[in-house]
Amino acid sequence: MEKIKSLYLHIPFCTWVCKYCDFNTYAVLEGLIPSYTDALCKEIEVVARRYPVGPLDTVFFGGGTPSLLSQLQLETVMRTVTQAIGLRPGAEVTLEANPGNISTVSCLGWLAAGVNRLSIGIQSLRPGALRFLERLHSGEEAINAIRAARAASFSNISCDLLYGVPGVATTAFLEDLTAVLAERPQHVSAYELTVEPITRLAQEVRAGQVVMPEADLQLEQYWSAAEVLARAGFDHYEISNWARPGYRCRHNLTYWEYRPYLGCGAGAHSLLRLDDGSSERFWNVKGPQAYIDRVAAEGVSVAGRELLATERAAGEAAMIGMRMLDGTRAAGAFPAERERLAAAGLLVEEGETVRLTRRGVELANQVGAAFLR
Amino acid sequence: MPTPTSLIRAISVIAHVDHGKTTLSDRLLEFTGTVAPRDMVEQVLDQLDLERERGITIKAQAVRMLYQAQDGKTYQINLIDTPGHVDFSYEVSRALAACDGAILVVDASQGVEAQTIANAHQAMEHHLKIVPVINKIDLQQANPELVREEIEKALGLPGDTAILASARQGIGTREILEAVVREVPPPTGDPAAPLQALIFDAKFDAYRGVVTYVRVLEGGLRPGMRILMMQTGKTFEVDEVGIFRPDRIPIEELSAGEVGYLIASIRNVRDSRVGDTVTDAARPAAEPLPGYRHVTPMVFAGLFPTDSEQYQDLKEALEKLQLNDASLIYEPETSAALGFGFRCGFLGLLHMEIVQERLEREFDLSLLATAPTVEYRVKLRNGEEVPVDNPDHLPDPAQIESISEPVVLATIVVPSAYVGNMMELSQERRGQFLNMQYEPGDRVIITYRMPLGEIIHDYYDQLKSRSKGYASLDYELAGFEEANLVKLDVLVGGSPVDALSMIVHREKAQVHGRRLAERLKALIPRQLFEVPIQAAIGGKIVARETVPALRKDVIAKCYGGDVTRKRKLLEKQKEGKKRMKRVGNVEIPQEAFMAVLTLD
């Protein structure tokens, strides 16, 4: 079994669940955070003994809103990770944070706990868009959050932005992007606002209260953002991710390169890679209370599991690997599909590597699906 | 102890669809105590699930009732319930051949309609005594006096003696039975003569083999007899004879005048051919009974399994279904677009729909049907004449001398306000006006000579919608006529799709081509490439549409916890594609193959 070097830690709590979000997160359950943190530590200790893991290259606190953890809680979790699994020198430790939780003081605390990469959920700087998205911060607060992180000496800052927000014109979106880039972050993720089926946004779209922008406008915003970012010296290294040289998110690269990882916390997924090329994936129960109870009883909280035989695992690796714009070697087992997609102008083949074309990026699902049975 | 022939009656109930003949049959069964009230369900005689669900009768049914009349005698009344839809008019014809009289049911609010006329005429051709019944007199819109007049004028039957009834409320049931015993003549056959029995239906029973429905006209039929089928020349030994009450009940003998069934370990329905005469092999009748109108399929379509692995299952299902439905014919067909399947012949579109539904439901198949077409006769320059029931098999135009198409005599009955609409529609469909007759009650009977090919393409639906549902239609085949016909080819993504070709009149070819291309554009989902759709006549493109290429199909986020969900989503997308048919590079959904049907 391939040695696991990445750990994901899920913090399923938010002050408010935004209407477009379908992540595993809960508002009004903050009272559970202390016992949840205890359960999380216990699970980390159990999986550390059960799987070939560590020392870790990357740790990622995702959510939810991990910045809701107190300084002490974060330190406790980090200490558990270090003692039970171990961190390599230079390991990347990311924390997702909302602008409202970011101050110089909180940043200094996170740095002290061992966090060295901050991923800030900015989404937009426009009051109208922020209100529409139900974000709890203002544009000014978002900019100040980046400044506070820099002032506390975070040297690896990522900013999340959303495009394709109803009512936001391309020029307005690009203004936001430019304003964010002026704060010199090392990494940017720009996501299309997607209507996920079980969200309030989906309800509003079905009811005709919200009209989502056409594909042409979404793509216009996407490609013009890509241009602005390229001019600012960012590499477009994944469909929705850009980084200055040396600042690609190593944790997320684990997923895209189909290397194994462990996920702890409610609803978190883990992937094991076996020597014959097959994979095993398992995931935890989603509800925080259920998670806490299961971990208390069994030490882990696995809800489901799937085994992917070699060929299917290879298909999955290719499906996800082609999201990296430098290309992937994971599609080697699919010469016929590669040829067909290349002929269709969606891929270019460079030796063992295949890479999405511009059109291939726009139709990445078609490419991904080709590698599945 | 056989019933004396003087106390036997054999009748049919005939009517336009929905005028209530099946409900009336239910009442007669109840009234005569044939079916105990606790066993009574609606539509007792409709045995197929589909019949009860759709409230229609597809197969003719026979039942024996015993009725104690006011003269004190007990009569044996053999009743044959018949379907009303025009597709199944051959069922009516064969039922009538086995009867001496007919109850003609006319709806008191709808009046005489196209199939009322057609069925009444058929009954007259068979020299049956007709007992007119005006049904549904309990309805508010009922106008029995007007209907009496229509019966007189349009059918030439005595309207004043028509019995007023409400099958739903049981009004008039006794009067109908009295009229039957009084007016319908008893059979004239001689129980001692050599056997002559007419086969009017046959069914396959999984346990007993073929159950043959017969009316004995001369002589008697007993178990143990060796019988001869006079048309096929095959002989069988009778295992069982019996009657329907309405379940099968074995009896000692079926004698002259009686209706019932015989079982003789016949394995194949084709050996028990409807219209054939059963006789005693040891003492055969001198000649067979006159047969009746031979059943010919009117429309043809390809049936293909969606999943090519179901081909063998489809083949077996068709074989089994044909055991019960002798009017269904089929032969293997190969389509470049759809793979292996069967070319099937049907009596009409309803029949086609029912066959497809029964195949899918009773045999758990998923089928794709191509657009129905009629059978053309193509005269070649070398003098040969070939039938063509598949547009793709039309010979090279250079070899064709002429093409003839089947035409029908169509009778439309409609309130006078809609005459204009009916004529407009019929002329659009290349109809040739023959006659128009004004009837009492503001009714008009219009007759047209029309290409059958125009009728099968939603003519009936249009007729209904352009007359607010009032028009009724009946038609019968009236030979073949030469017409200026061409083959319209469809190219999707540059490749011809055989299953989409059609034969159309030259003058309409361009319009049809254009509409078909538009419909296909709406039905074919966006693909990686732009997909041109072209309609062509003899290599010349007459219409073109383009399905634009897929613009965007990408998921913004894909991290560790999203992979399974995303994979499943894409796998599902791919599964959906598998249900489409791939022609060249293009995925075509199933509905596209039926698009031709709704072009007008």
Q: Which residue of A has its CA nearest to B549?
A: A363
pLDDT for the residue B289: 81
The Cα A201–Cα A221 span in angstroms is 20
Domain residue ranges in chain B:
5-183, 196-280, 299-369, 377-483, 486-598
Span B255-314, pLDDT tens digits: 999 999 999 988 877 788 777 899 999 999 888 887 655 567 888 999 998 888 899 999
Are residues B560 and A263, on separate chains, in Cβ contact within 8 Å?
yes
Hey, how many other C-beta atoms are within 10 angstroms of the C-beta on A303?
15
pLDDT tens by residue, B183-240 = 999 998 898 999 999 888 888 887 888 899 999 999 999 999 999 998 888 999 999 9
Q: Nearest CA to CA, how far is A71 from chain B (Å)?
A: 26
**Lowest model confidence (mean pLDDT) among A272-286, A321-335, B35-49:** B35-49
Calpha distance B331→B315 (Å, rounded) = 9
Q: Please report the number of interchain residue pairs, chain A to chain B, with beta-carbon separation below 8 angstroms.
A: 91
The alpha-carbon gap from B390 to the nearest alpha carbon of chain A, in Å, equals 34
* pLDDT above 80: residue B60: no
Nearest-Cα distance to chain A for B569, in Å, is 9
Decide if A361 and B554 are in contact by the 8 Å CB cutoff: yes
B563/A365 touch (CB, cutoff 8 Å), yes or no? no
Tokens found for residue B49? 């699930």
pLDDT digits (tens, 9 = 90+) for B499-515: 888 899 998 889 889 99
Q: To the nearest whole number, what is the mean pLDDT of chain A?
A: 96
Name the 3-class secondary structure at B85.
Answer: coil
Q: What CATH number belongs to B299-369?
A: 3.30.70.870
Rounded distance between C-alpha atoms, residue A284 and residue A9, angstroms: 12
B206 in A contact zone (CB under 8 Å): no
Measured in angstroms, the CA of B533 and the nearest CA of chain A are apart by: 19
Mean pLDDT (chain B, rounded):
86
Q: Is the CB of residue B552 less than 8 Å away from at least one CB of chain A? A: yes
Whether B570 contacts chain A with CB within 8 A:
yes
A124-128, B258-262, B327-331: segment of lowest average pLDDT: B327-331
For residues B371 and B64, give the distance between their C-alpha atoms in angstroms, rounded to a whole number. Answer: 42
Establish whether domains B299-369 and B486-598 are of one fold.
Answer: yes
What mean pLDDT is predicted for residues B313-329?
A: 83
Cα–Cα distance between A235 and A246 in angstroms, integer?
Answer: 10
Contact criterion met (CB < 8 Å) for B561 and A306 = no
Residues 247-286 of B with CB under 8 A from A: none
Task: Look at residue B181 in the predicted model and tell me its pLDDT.
Answer: 94
Token pair 């053309």: residue: B376
Of chain A, the end-to-end C-alpha distance in Å amounts to 25
The CATH class, in words, for B486-598 is alpha beta
Domain B196-280 has CATH 3.30.479.10: no
- Cβ–Cβ of A216/B557 closer than 8 Å? no
B565 or A228, higher pLDDT: A228
Pairing of strands B502-505, B540-547: unpaired
Q: How far apart are CA A162 and CA A140, in angstroms?
A: 17
Q: Please give the CATH superfamily to which domain B5-183 belongs.
A: P-loop containing nucleotide triphosphate hydrolases (3.40.50.300)
Is 90 exceeded by the pLDDT of residue A296? yes
Q: What is the pLDDT of residues B556-572, one digit of tens each?
A: 999 988 899 899 988 88
Residue contact A267–B555, C-beta within 8 A: no
Nearest Cα neighbor of B321 from B199, B201, B204, B202 is B204
Residue A235 to residue A244: CA distance in whole angstroms: 6
Kindly list the residues from chain A whose CB atom is less than 8 angstroms away from the CB atom of residue B553.
362-366
How close A122 gets to chain B, by Cα (Å)?
16
H or E segment to which residue B426 belongs? helix B419-428
CB contact (8 A) between residue B560 and residue A368: no
Structure tokens, B48: 């197929």
DSSP code at position B187? P
Do residue B553 and residue A365 have CB atoms under 8 angstroms apart?
Answer: yes
Contacts of A263 in chain B (CB under 8 A): 560-561
Residue B271 C-alpha from the chain's centroid: 22
Q: How far is B585 from chain A (nearest CA, A)?
A: 10
3-class secondary-structure state, position A287: coil
Total residue count of chain A as it appears in this document:
373
CB-CB: which of A281, A361, A368 is closest to B564? A281
Interchain CB distance below 8 Å, B564 and A192 = no
The predicted-structure confidence for A306-364, as pLDDT tens digits, reads as follows 999 999 999 999 999 999 999 999 998 899 999 989 998 999 999 889 999 999 999 99
Q: How confident is the model at residue A90 (pLDDT cuts 50, 70, 90)?
A: very high
Q: Cα separation of B432 and B447, whole Å? A: 9
CA-based nearest distance B543→chain A, Å: 26
* A8–B560 C-beta distance less than 8 A: yes
Yes or no, beta carbons of A239 and B556 under 8 Å apart: yes
CATH of segment(s) B377-483: 3.30.70.240
CB contact under 8 A, B551 and A364: no
d(CA A146, nearest CA chain B) in Å: 23
- How distant, in Å, are the alpha carbons of A60, B123, B131 from that of B409? 80, 18, 27
Choose the closest CB to A366 out of B528, B558, B564: B528
Weakest mean pLDDT among B410-419, B468-477, B560-569: B468-477
CA distance B567 to chain A (A): 7
- CB–CB contact A271 B553 (8 Å): no
Q: Which of B554, B568, B570 to mutate to test the interface with A (most CBs of A within 10 A)?
A: B554
pLDDT top residue among A149 and B348:
A149
* Percent of chain B residues topping a pLDDT of 70: 92
Contact between chains at B554 and A362 (C-beta distance less than 8 A)? yes
The predicted pLDDT at position B49 comes to 61
Name the β-bridge partners of B229.
Answer: B278
Partner-chain contact A269 B563, CB within 8 Å: yes
User: How does strand B74-81 pair with strand B339-346?
Assistant: unpaired
**Contact at CB, A194 and B573, closer than 8 angstroms:** no
Chain B residues in contact with A283 (beta carbon < 8 A): 561, 564
Give the chain A residue nearest B575 (alpha carbons): A373
A218 vs B552: CB contact, 8 Å cut-off?
A: yes
**Mean pLDDT (whole number) for A271-288:** 96
When CB atoms are compared, the residue of A215, A267, A319 closest to B561 is A267
Residue A271: list chain B partners with CB under 8 A: 560, 563
Q: Which residues of A touch B552 (CB under 8 A)?
A: 215, 218-219, 362-363
